[in-house]
Every structure is written in C-alpha cells, then in structure tokens.
Amino acid sequence: GAVVSQHPSRVICKSGTSVKIECRSLDFQATTMFWYRQFPKKSLMLMATSNEGSKATYEQGVEKDKFLINHASLTLSTLTVTSAHPEDSSFYICSAREPAPHSTLPDTQYFGPGTRLTVL
C-alpha cells in the first residue's frame, strides 16, 4: 500500500513552546490529509481535514488557533501545536487520502506512524 511518513516520531518540549509535526505522502499525491489525536487506549479523534491550497476544516471543539495546519504541497501537511501545554500531550497521527484508480471507487486513507508529543 501507499506510504505516509511523519516527523518527528517523538518530541518532548517545554510548556509554552510551539511544536511542528510533518506528514508526507511518499509515493502518491494527496490533495487531502487528515490529522487525528489518540488518547491512551482510545480510538482516533479527527481534529481537522487538511486540503492542499486551502484552509483546513476543523472539527467541532478543536481550537484552530492552537492547532495550525498548513498543506503546502500535494505531499506535505504540517500541524503546529502552538503554546503547547501538558494537556496537549498525546499521540498525533496523520493520514493521507490516496486517489482511487477510478472515479467510481472511493479513495483510501493511509496512515503515518504517529508522533508522540510530551509537554513538560
């Protein structure tokens, strides 16, 4: 299947600093990427949908000024956690939607390996 990478895999930062996480589709172009947050032993919570060349669409309850998303190219989306606090510590996972080979089929989402953020 298609490959999605994330960088960094793990980051520790001090409270009040900003952290940038990159998500790349390595072997396909993704006009749409997604950012999820996962709490321990929980399912994935969709934070926002990232569209190349336009503003991200945030889910209800997600602070857009805190979680800045930029989809600069067809293979790169970034999530910046601004002024991070301990409650932002979590596992962040991105996914990219690989276009289906035919218009009659849906796209398939492929996931990155995740980024463990720890805010001290």
Partner 1 sequence: AQSVTQPDIHITVSEGASLELRCNYSYGATPYLFWYVQSPGQGLQLLLKYFSGDTLVQGIKGFEAEFKRSQSSFNLRKPSVHWSDAAEYFCAVLKTSYDKVIFGPGTSLSVIP
Binding positions for partner 1, rule: CB under 8 A:
1, 4, 6, 34, 41-44, 46, 49, 91, 93, 95, 100, 105-114, 116
Closer residue to partner 1 (CB): 93 or 119: 93
Give SS3 for 86: helix
Q: Is the distance from CB of 91 to CB of 37 less than 8 angstroms?
A: yes
Nearest distance in Å: CB 74, partner 1:
18
Distance between CA atoms of residues 110 and 95, nearest Å? 5
Closer residue to partner 1 (CB): 46 or 72: 46
Closer residue to partner 1 (CB): 85 or 116: 116
**Which two structure tokens, joined as six digits, stand for 5?**
């990478």
